[in-house]
Amino acid sequence: MIFRLLDLFCGAGGAAMGYHRAGFEVVGVDIKPQPRYPFEFHQADALEYCIEHGHEFDAIHASPPCQKYSLIRRGLWPGRDHPDLIRPTRTVLLGTAVPYVIENVVGARSAMRDPIVLCGSMFTLGYEGHQLRRHRLFECSFPVPQPACRHNNRVPVPVYGGGQDKDYHQPPRTRVIGVYGSSGGSSTRDGRAFFNVDARREAMGIDWMTNKELSQAIPPAYTEHIGKQLIAILERTHLCHAQRCEK
């Protein structure tokens, strides 16, 4: 049986690809055009679409904008008030009565309910010895095991920022990949490591996004891990329902 998942605030589809690899048929919704989204896409207000269509799906993933909780955004625009969309999103998801996942940045912990933390080191993500860490929180309405972080002693790869067409450089002798901003060619100059878009794509496990899209994306490995747990739960639930109907 093929289960359908609704991907809200979908961006360019990093989360969607992980759920697809886990076995879901994925439909994405975002208020902005997403020309590189790899699956069926609807441009619409995510929560309005969910209120109308959420019950038609077997599960829902939501990645509401993180500006309110992003340390970088708060540093760039101190005093600017950003809306909290996590709580309204949860309210809408609970109204659908289907399993859900809410994803956000580590700074959003106070707004989330018992989230797990996923990190690139759990899935050996990186580029030529540079480790991708990229911690993200996931509030799941079903149990999901949390692997252990496997941080090495090297500096991690950053993946965030505004997407300017410039090289990003690490301090001397670092081994962490940064995925933020945007850059040209990969190189090492004056003891500093520079990463281009191809290196960041490899580190994230994403080959179809621009650098700016990468900066806002979730590595598919994260949601593939969650999706496999969810598929198993949905299969058991479907089997139990079928057995009850036979009696």
User: What is the number of structural domains in the chain?
Assistant: 1
pLDDT value at residue 239: 82
Are β-strands 192-195 and 187-189 bridged in parallel, bridged antiparallel, or unpaired?
Answer: antiparallel
- Between residues 163 and 177, which one has the greater pLDDT? 177
The SS3 of residue 82 is coil
pLDDT value at residue 171: 43
Q: What is the pLDDT of residues 191-234, one digit of tens each?
A: 445 678 899 999 999 999 999 999 999 999 999 999 999 999 99
- Between residues 22 and 172, which one has the greater pLDDT? 22
Where residue 67 falls among pLDDT bands split at 50, 70, 90? Answer: low
17/214 Cα distance (integer angstroms): 13
Place of tokens 């707004």: 111
Could you tell me which residues are beta bridge partners of residue 126? 131
Question: Residue 168 pLDDT more than 60?
Answer: no
Give a yes or no: residue 184 inside a domain: no
* Top mean-pLDDT range of 72-76, 123-127, 186-190, 219-223: 219-223
Question: Residue 235 pLDDT more than 70?
Answer: yes
Q: What is the pLDDT of residues 116-164, one digit of tens each?
A: 999 999 999 998 888 998 999 999 999 999 999 988 766 566 675 544 3
Where residue 113 falls among pLDDT bands split at 50, 70, 90? Answer: very high
Put simply, whether the predicted model's pTM sits higher than 0.95 gets the answer: no
Give a yes or no: residue 171 inside a domain: no
The SS3 of residue 159 is strand
Give a yes or no: residue 100 inside a domain: yes
Give a yes or no: residue 16 inside a domain: yes
Domain harbouring 9, CATH code: 3.40.50.150
Q: Which domain holds residue 93?
A: 4-119+136-148+216-246
Give a yes or no: residue 87 inside a domain: yes
Contacts from 173-176 at CB under 8 Å and sequence distance 24+?
174/130, 175/129, 175/130, 175/131, 176/130, 176/131, 176/132, 176/133
Give a yes or no: residue 187 inside a domain: no
Give a yes or no: residue 84 inside a domain: yes
Give a yes or no: residue 37 inside a domain: yes
Extract the tokens encoding 79: 């005093």
